[in-house]
Amino acid sequence: MAYSDQVMDHYQNPRNVGKFDDNDDQIGTGMVGAPACGDVMRLQIKVNDDGIIEDAKFKTYGCGSAIASSSLLTEWVKGRSIDDAAQIKNTEIAEELALPPVKIHCSVLAEDAIKAAVEDYRKKLNDVD
């Protein structure tokens, strides 16, 4: 079983590992996957008043490809608008990390995670309004 250099890089030096305060209105949290399936991703975004993602953090329980997919995602979403970030496709992640077919679900999970985080943030925004 060989991992691509990109996966190994993110796996060995994961970017933006950590946790924001869930209760902060600036924070959107997406938690996807299930322990029983062997993958759980928690992706959090910090959004400013202009709807731009200023910062992102993740923690992932899962295989190397799942960890790499979420690490890469935190890099990609930073500086993007939430609308833009929600458009990220799993195929882009899979391509960047050169994931083999059996690991495509890891990139799908990452796509789900950013969508869930954006949705959570929007929900908080609407509740405040």
Catalytic residue among 82, 106, 117, 118: 106
35 scored as a contact of another protein (CB under 8 A): yes
Task: Select 42 or 124, whichever has its Cβ closest to another protein.
Answer: 42
Residue 37 known to be catalytic:
yes
For the residues of 67-106, what is the DSSP string, one character each?
HHHHHHHHHHHTTSBHHHHTT--HHHHHHHHT--GGGHHH
Of the candidate spans 34-42, 47-55, 75-83, 119-127, the one that interacts with another protein by CB under 8 A turns out to be 34-42
Distance CA 59, CA 3 (A): 20
106 carries an active-site annotation: yes
From candidates 4, 20, 61, 122, binder to another protein by CB under 8 A? 61
Part of the chain binding another protein (CB under 8 A), chosen from 28-36, 72-80, 82-90, 120-128: 28-36
3-state secondary structure 11-51: HHCCCCECCCCCCCCCEEEEEEEEHHHCEEEEEEEEECCCC
Q: Which of residues 86-115 bind another protein (CB under 8 A)?
A: 102, 105, 108-109, 112
Q: Rule CB under 8 A: say whether 28 interacts with another protein.
A: no
**Closer residue to another protein in complex, CB, 22/25:** 22
- When asked if residue 30 is in the footprint of another protein (CB under 8 A), the reply is no
Q: To 5 degrees, how large is the angle CA 107–CA 68–CA 121?
A: 65
In angstroms, rounded to a whole number, what is the distance separating the alpha carbons of residues 129 and 119?
15
